[in-house]
Structure 1
Amino acid sequence: MDRDEPGADTVTRRPGGRSARVRAAVHEAVTQLAAERGYGKFTVAEVAARAGVADTSVYRRWGGLEELTADVVITWLTTCCPVPDTGTLVGDLRTYAANVVREANGPQGPAVLGLVIALGAAGEAGARARDQFLAERSRQLRTMLERARARGEQAPDVAYLVDQILAPVYVRSLFAMGPLTEDFADELVDRMLGRVLGAAGRGPA
């Protein structure tokens, strides 16, 4: 059995193993090509050539370009922005937002965000990747909010965080609308929490 094939053996999980190196090289090739050309404008053969592997290995492991690109998106999301635990909601959100900004500024961030948008219209595997991306983002935000409520802090819902923190970062990144800095991330968090706490202080109308 080919060691690049899913389930071949535990080498697929061993840090530094050949399979891990192949996966990293292929993922990097996808993000590079996506940044240079956009989704749908490169082939599995071109990905394999840039990664320095046989295209048959890519097909055996991922099945096709949609499945491969979906794997790139989900892997990036689950590793780029770990959920912080600073002891306060404002600390958690500032750290998380700073991580999102850092990744959006990185070499892969804009390409991966572009892939998420393209995948939504690229078939069943792509739609699943988009849905997984959104579900994982929601899970990360929900974790911070639930911890905050358990501490007795006022906390908004997930959709409000997406609208007030993630959406502005993603729009600026995708459309190159001005610098993305940690100060900008802090401003988004402070403004959002100010509105939430202000509304809580006013109480029902």
Structure 2
Amino acid sequence: MATKEGLRPGGRSARVQESIHSAVRALLEEQERSTVTVPQIAARAGVTPSTIYRRWGDLSVLLADVALARMRPDSEPANTGSLRGDLRAWGEQYLDEMSSELGRNLLRDVQCSSTPGFCVAIIGAQLQTILDRYPDQPLPSVDRLINLISAPTVFRVLFSAAPLEVEELHRLIEIALTH
């Protein structure tokens, strides 16, 4: 993928990327994902299709890039005053966001991404922020939290007829907190 984590293009490049990302988001709100095309995106963004192909290679990579950008959190996880409360608030929000139609589509697009580990890095950073609030407590590892909270959530969203139930999410958080 042409855009890399941590790199923030400036000037014209940033404006072009934002214009293209905005065009993709708008088109995805207006029509089915399967009907969105590079020429439509280019026309909406005011660029040529070759600009998109040069930067992203193909539509699936562009959709993955837009999905990855949307998955970056806007703020720190909620601080409820307790590790259990913070994990519950984070887990419930994550479950709610990922089980929405938009969340499912984002997860599917990210599967096409050529940046393996990106989602784990985003989720891991959020969970580490929570853990860092409680330095005087015995803490599970970030990997344990990902394996017991995020992984079952994503699996159920992508491969089950129904998302994980909130009560089951709470049980998994309890398991994650036992040492």
TM-score for both structures, normalised by structure 2: 0.71
Quote the Cα distance in structure 1 between the aligned partners of 2:128 and 2:50. Answer: 38
Whichever residue aligns with residue 143 of structure 1, its letter is T
CA deviation string 1:100-139 (max 9, x = no partner): 12211333211111122222xxxxxx1x2x3222211111
RMSD: 3.5
Confirm or deny: 8 A CA contact 2:68 2:106 kept in the other structure: no
Q: 1:131 to 1:142 in 2, by over 3 A?
A: same
Q: 1:24 aligns with which of 13, 22, 25?
A: 22
Q: What is the CA distance between 1:83 and its match in structure 2?
A: 1.9
**Which residue number corresponds to residue 99 of structure 2?**
105
> What is the SS of the residue equivalent to 1:79?
coil
Task: Say whether residues 1:161 and 2:145 are aligned partners.
Answer: yes
Quote the Cα distance in structure 1 between the aligned partners of 2:158 and 2:173. Answer: 25
Q: 2:90 aligns with which of 76, 89, 96?
A: 96
Quote the Cα distance in structure 1 between the aligned partners of 2:151 and 2:14. Answer: 38
Quote the Cα distance in structure 2 between the aligned partners of 1:145 and 1:32. Answer: 40
Q: 1:82 to 1:112 in 2, by over 3 A?
A: farther
Confirm or deny: 8 A CA contact 2:98 2:154 kept in the other structure: yes
CA deviation string 1:30-62 (max 9, x = no partner): 6887x743xxx965224335x464434852894
Q: What is the CA distance between 1:70 and its match in structure 2?
A: 4.1
Q: 1:138 aligns with which of 92, 117, 124?
A: 124
Q: What is the CA distance between 1:186 and its match in structure 2?
A: 4.9
Whichever residue aligns with residue 23 of structure 1, its letter is H
TM-score for both structures, normalised by structure 1: 0.64
* Runs of 4+ displaced beyond 6 Å: none
The 5 A counterparts of 1:56-135 are: 56=49, 58-59=51-52, 62-65=55-58, 68-79=62-73, 82-119=76-113, 126=114, 128=115, 130-135=116-121
Quote the Cα distance in structure 1 between the aligned partners of 2:117 and 2:28. Answer: 20
Quote the Cα distance in structure 2 between the aligned partners of 1:26 and 1:196. Answer: 38
Quote the Cα distance in structure 1 between the aligned partners of 2:13 and 2:128. Answer: 32
Q: What is the CA distance between 1:10 and its match in structure 2?
A: 11
Can you give the 5+ residue segments of structure 1 that lack an aligned partner in the other structure? 1-5, 13-17, 120-125, 201-205
CA deviation string 1:70-102 (max 9, x = no partner): 431321111367422222111111111111122
Whichever residue aligns with residue 79 of structure 1, its letter is P
Quote the Cα distance in structure 1 between the aligned partners of 2:141 and 2:63. Answer: 30
User: Which structure is larger by alpha-carbon Rg, 1 or 2?
Assistant: 1
**Which residue number corresponds to residue 192 of structure 1?**
172
Can you give the 5+ residue segments of structure 2 that lack an aligned partner in the other structure? 1-8
CA deviation string 1:135-171 (max 9, x = no partner): 11111112212222x1x23321112211211112111
